Structure 1
Amino acid sequence: MTARRPLALLTLLLATAPAWAVKPFVADYDASWKGVQANAQISLSRSAGDRWNYELSVSNQLGSSRQTTVFEARGDDYRPLSGVDATQVLFKRSQKNATYDWAQREARWSGDVKDDRAGPVKLEEGDLDGMLLNLALVRDVAAGKPLSYRLVDNGVARPQRFQNLGKDTVTVAGQTRTATKVARTSDDKQVIVWVVDGLPTPARILQRRDGRDELELTLKSVR
């Protein structure tokens, strides 16, 4: 009876372990940005304690784009703290900075933003920014949870609901993988995301605006 206790304890630990845990990774993608082939990378690294840095960088012959979010992992919730969205296309540069002040329950934006997009916007528990939607989708698809969120980004707060479109196939590092395909459409923009069980980052992301592909990422490797 005593010899069987370690196995029983392991079974209990596995049963009570969280379905999703934040872990560092670096993912390399083949990309198309503004109609031109590009290289892209998504990375997640620990900053300090429960704080994490989450970054997407894309570059090609036209220019580069970098989106960075600092967030706090609170159990299964991700709380944005700050963000930077910097783009350079040919000779034009733009940078927007976001601050999420949870003590005051408000978000503000500075840099190259219009006056009516500077905030403040009232924060609510569970709010995400645009970058954190990727992590939330991977987490919630794996757990079978509803894909409904409140996005606080670019000076506004709006609901985001993704529809589960069922199973599809994607190619990752030359191998065909089964993925869950989810999508949302609002106004002139559509976002489609493919999530593969066991991968910490989307296997494919497609963003369209006015019916045209704006950004496409296809996973090459993750480490």
Structure 2
Amino acid sequence: MRALLPLIAVALLSVACPPPARAAGLEPFVATYDAWYEGKQAGAATMRLQPQGAQWQIDLGIRGNRGLAGILALNLDQDTLFDVVGDNVYRPLRQSTTRKAAVFFNRKVEGVYDWNTGTARWTGDISKRRRDPVALKPGDMSALLINLAVMRDAAPGAALQYRFVDGGRVREYAYQVAADTELVQVGEISYSALRVSRTNGGNDEMIIWVADGVPTPVRILQRENGEDAVDLRLVEYQGAP
């Protein structure tokens, strides 16, 4: 399964800590999703955005509980610690991904984005080639941060461009936002949402639906070779103090 681009219990802050960058338009939230795999309901997911002092952390946890295929593909934890700089730029500082499959394996990869040296490096259960340092450029983001940036930037008809730097890999991600909203049925709730589609993923498609006033995607769909793979459908969300 490809890394999920992208998407909240809040830690209590000491009174000595400065407030997070609310001016950047970020607000804490927790969202729960039904997780589908290859067209069948296979588990659940939770996405959280929470302040960490003057920084922020976004987490995504997916748990498969139905069928062997779902269990193998849908046990994943991702998180990114980041700050907000310049003109509302999300800058990753630390990232981790943990994949579990019952007793078969438990793999964890951790990355550090060192903006002082201009390099990022990953350690853990990762190939030697991907352990090599990656030269950073302004605007580089992890998979989860790209999801958050899509929420920030989606506007009717917009073309979006991001550089993905995650897990020792570098890729250009291009998205096209639909000109008009469409009705997205998620469970018993309908949302008027903009479809945001990755246009340069080849056989690996990513579609994110963004609804006005909802801080998290209402649906995230990954398709591989023309078939639905991972499909996260929003169940509920709430803000956090």
Same fold (TM over 0.5): yes
Partners of 1:140 and 1:146 within 8 A in 2: no
Which one of the candidate residues 133, 141, 145 is aligned to 1:128? 141
Partners of 2:110 and 2:123 within 8 A in 1: yes
User: Which runs of no fewer than 5 residues in structure 2 stay unpaired?
Assistant: 1-21, 66-70
Post-superposition shift, 1:165?
Answer: 3.0
Change in 2 beyond 3 A, CA 1:53/1:33: farther
Pair 1:79-2:83 in alignment: no
Paired residue type of 1:47: Q
Correspondence for 1:4 = none
Deviation beyond 6 Å, 4+ runs, structure 1 = none
Query: What is the distance in 2 between the residues matched to 1:92 and 1:156?
Result: 22
SS, match of residue 143 in structure 2: coil
Matches within 5 A, 1:138-149: 138-142=151-155, 146-149=159-162
Correspondence for 1:26 = 30
SS, match of residue 186 in structure 1: coil
Correspondence for 1:58 = 62
Partners of 1:169 and 1:176 within 8 A in 2: yes
1:41-99 CA-to-partner distances (Å, cap 9, x unmatched) read 100000111x1110000102226210111111225110000111101113222111111
Correspondence for 2:100 = 88
Post-superposition shift, 1:142?
Answer: 4.7
* TM-score for both structures, normalised by structure 1: 0.85
For this pair of structures, how many residues does the alignment match? 205
Correspondence for 1:168 = 182
1:108-140 CA-to-partner distances (Å, cap 9, x unmatched) read 111111111112111111111111111100100
Change in 2 beyond 3 A, CA 1:107/1:137: same
Paired residue type of 2:209: W
Post-superposition shift, 1:145?
Answer: 5.5
Q: Which has the higher strand share?
A: 1
Correspondence for 1:177 = 191
Correspondence for 1:193 = 208
Query: What is the distance in 2 between the residues matched to 1:73 and 1:144?
Result: 26
Partners of 1:173 and 1:221 within 8 A in 2: no
- Compare CA radii of gyration and give the structure with the larger one: 1
SS, match of residue 154 in structure 2: helix
Structure 1 vs Structure 2 CA RMSD:
2.1
Correspondence for 1:12 = none
* TM-score for both structures, normalised by structure 2: 0.79
SS, match of residue 215 in structure 2: coil
1:15-52 CA-to-partner distances (Å, cap 9, x unmatched) read xx96x601100001111146551110100000111x11
Correspondence for 1:44 = 49
Correspondence for 1:211 = 226
Change in 2 beyond 3 A, CA 1:144/1:212: closer
Matches within 5 A, 1:104-123: 104-123=117-136
1:150-208 CA-to-partner distances (Å, cap 9, x unmatched) read 11112122211101234221135623221100111423311011000111111100012
